[in-house]
Structure 1
Amino acid sequence: MKTKSLVLAAVIATAISAPTMAADWFVGGAVGYQQDTYKSKETESGKTTSEKFKEKDMSYQLRAGTYLNDNNRVYGTYSYNSDDFAKQQSFLASYDYLIGLDAGNKLNWFVGATAGMTHTSPDAKELSSENTFVWGGQTGLMYKISDKLSTEIGYRYLKQDYDLKSSDDAGSTQFSLNDTQQVYLGVDYRF
């Protein structure tokens, strides 16, 4: 829990201080592919069965933030995903460090940290919807098309905390969403 608290505190502190240092604000969107890793464990009549499975589907994102300078940006993201098992809505706060790969900083490699909250709504009636803490990181390449427009391709990994346990006279069930991985293509507009 200490790691989660430290990551969340660092992201929040950076986001709160952003308006005093802000140089360029931006809004944007992204579309991509999301893979969720689920685990289930059932115990019935003394017999335990475990299963690990992955669900894959499209992911859609809207975001807004600011470039603090040429090498630092902070932003918030709303993300939506619906696969065969559940629907997810995420609210994330992120920080990226940008490393210029050319003389004019048109092409940048970015690496950063993310923390936030995800609302998971499983389609199964016996499983409840839940808000959970998520944290992770992202990396990718950003290309500055013009002073106002940029595009990027990225990869994000999120550690999920969705964990549900239930039991009755017949046995017990434990179900969890372990992690989420996203690959996305985004476009941002600076103003």
Structure 2
Amino acid sequence: YMHRPAFVALLVVLIIGGTSVGTSAKKAYNYRMRERDVGKSDIVWNNDEYVLLKNGDINKAYKKIEDELGIKALKISVVPLEMKYDRLEIREGIATIKFLFNGQLLCFIQAKNDIASSNNVVSDRKVNSEIYNIWLDKQITIERNKLSDDQIEYSMYLSINGAYYYLYGIMEEKEFEDIVSELRF
């Protein structure tokens, strides 16, 4: 006799709880269009309004590279949540964008190759894989280097229209590949 009311109450709790969990889960996948810089057509699609605030200065860094070096800045469009823009350094025609990622430094060098100049990157990295980047229509070689503390550092190098781009840092291989596959102007 007492089992029927308890069963009905349990059923009601499960139905209400199940629909609220479903509603919360759907909200997490509900992407909204947000304008990062009003009037500048800087639109972001995401499901977290705070993502807009985390890396706001990176767009200024890309603009500064284009203005000071006279090249198109290659932009990182896939940014892991743990990766934060730190600073931009421009010296002697070479721009270095620095990010912090899980306590490690990720550097993105961008520079213009003058006709009478020479650049050299020396490394003990080994070719690890190749990733196709649809935005650049290029196969990009990713190299890896095992450091003395058993951490793995990944890097990639590109030369496009008289400019060169060099990205390197310590992170998981999949995260680095995701970043490289989505680089764009």
* TM bracket, shorter-chain basis: under 0.3
Q: As a proportion of its length, which structure holds more strand?
A: 1
> Please, what TM-score do these two structures have when normalized by structure 2?
0.24
TM-score (norm 1): 0.24
Relative contact order, CA 8 A, sep 6+: which one is greater?
1
